[in-house]
Amino acid sequence: MKKKNLFLLLFIITVIWTLFTSIMNAENNTVDNNRIIDLRILETTDIHAALVNYDYYQTKTDNTIGLVKTSGLIHHARSEAVNSLLFDVGDHLKGNPLGEYLVRIKGIQKGKTHPVYRAFNYLKYDAITIGNHELNYGLKFLKTVLKGPKMPVVNANVYSAIENKPYFKPYVILKRTMVDKQGANHDINIGVIGFMPPQIMKWDKANLDGKVIARPIVETAKEYVPIMKAEGADIIIALAHTGIDSEPYHPETENAVYYLSDIQDIDVILAGHSHSIFPGNNFKDLPHANINEGKIKGKPVVMAGAFGSRLGIIDLQLEVNAGKWKVIKSTSFTRPIADENGNPLVETDKKLFRLIKPEHQETVDFLKKLGI
């Protein structure tokens, strides 16, 4: 009888222990999963006023360019992700007859929003930076049109020559609520900082001399990134209107992405300026680059060509440990709006086209009057 009782007792203990272990493992797995967030970062860059899939020089449709096409990729990429952010990396105001017409002929009337920023507002960009070509029309014009975007505009390395302080807002910390793998919400602070080549002081000397100065990109980043972390940035994204080159760094380096990737607390780099595609075969021999994963020195980097021809995408996995978020996995890639033969791979965003059609049509009509 005693043996039967002992056996029964051991059986009950075994069952309880098994159940307890299963529950604890399930709870631990839930906690681990709750700490993982998938975040998709989207990039456009060097749009150069190519809002419409139209070649103004040849007066015909061109499905290899145009934000009205890139917009389709943006909508689709967002639909694939629970959490996403969209940024532009500059050189979006100048570069075709539409951009020139709006400055040289029509002008931007007080209270009116430039069609580029009207498009950005429609697409709900989270933040943007400006490129060197935004300065080509002068600081007065830029100051006027920058009243139009509803998202933060950042640049950290252009300083007022008179006051010796940032001419633009150097960075912003976006407060976003994101959903983890189990459906729980987390508040995350996304630091966003912008840069452009210091060569602006040579390229636009007439517009800028005595008004602003340009500081070196990497040195500026090293100054501001710790400040952003101290202000609570969980991750930091660099909107780097600068290209990718492994030539030895110096303060006047124009293409500084390779060396921005050395800065520990910069988690993501969205590149531009050089109209290249990263990851891509042009960078297969770049030291410390992983073309398959889209990384430079282990950091996720993307550059989406120019004129709206591609959308840059970086998929991140974020994990929290002791209250600190970090990137534990990333993949970078780009998607084109057309195939190699120029055939469209995405539909035109008709709603966006309607928003910007007036200025587009005015430009076409003006060129016809000139006999172009």
Model confidence pLDDT, tens digit, residues 162-183: 999 999 999 999 999 999 999 9
Query: For 314-327, what is the mean pLDDT?
Result: 95
Are the C-beta atoms of 362 and 338 separated by less than 8 Å? Answer: no
Q: What is the pLDDT of residues 22-64, one digit of tens each?
A: 444 444 433 444 589 999 999 999 999 999 999 999 999 999 9
Structure tokens at 24: 């604890």
For residue 153, name the pLDDT band (cuts at 50, 70, 90): very high
Q: What is the pLDDT of residues 55-107, one digit of tens each?
A: 999 999 999 999 999 999 999 999 999 999 999 999 999 999 999 999 999 88
CA angle 97, 101, 107 (to 5 degrees): 155
| Residue at 22 is within a domain | no
- List own/partner pairs for 264-267 with CB under 8 A and 24 or more apart: 265/225, 265/226, 265/228, 265/229, 265/236, 266/221, 266/225, 266/236, 266/237, 266/238, 266/299, 267/235, 267/236, 267/237, 267/299, 267/300, 267/316, 267/326, 267/327
Q: Which of 271, 333, 330 is nearest to 46 (CA)?
A: 271
Are the C-beta atoms of 51 and 60 separated by less than 8 Å? Answer: no
Residues 6+ apart with CB under 8 A from 113: 121, 148
Are the C-beta atoms of 294 and 35 separated by less than 8 Å? Answer: no
Is the sign of the CA dihedral 163, 90, 225, 251 positive or negative? negative
| Residue at 159 is within a domain | yes
Determine what percent of the chain falls in helix, strand and coil, rounding each to the nearest 5. 35, 25, 40
Q: Which of 10, 1, 91 is nearest to 43 (CA)?
A: 91
H or E element: which one contains 240?
strand 235-240
| Residue at 68 is within a domain | yes
CATH number at residue 270: 3.60.21.10
Look at residue 34 in the predicted model and tell me its pLDDT.
Answer: 54
Query: For 317-322, what is the mean pLDDT?
Result: 94
Are the C-beta atoms of 280 and 292 separated by less than 8 Å? Answer: no
Look at residue 15 in the predicted model and tell me its pLDDT.
Answer: 46
| Stated pTM of the model | 0.90
| Residue at 138 is within a domain | yes
Q: What is the CA radius of gyration of the chain?
A: 25
Look at residue 188 in the predicted model and tell me its pLDDT.
Answer: 97
| Residue at 33 is within a domain | no
Residue type, 162: I
| Residue at 44 is within a domain | no
Using the predicted structure, report yes or no on whether residue 218 has a pLDDT greater than 60. yes
| Residue at 233 is within a domain | yes
Q: What is the pLDDT of residues 11-20, one digit of tens each?
A: 555 545 544 4
Look at residue 31 in the predicted model and tell me its pLDDT.
Answer: 41
For residue 2, name the pLDDT band (cuts at 50, 70, 90): low
| Boundaries of domain holding 199 | 55-369
Query: For 120-131, what is the mean pLDDT?
Result: 98
For residue 9, name the pLDDT band (cuts at 50, 70, 90): low
Q: How many domains in the chain?
A: 1
| Residue at 150 is within a domain | yes
Query: For 247-253, what is the mean pLDDT?
Result: 96
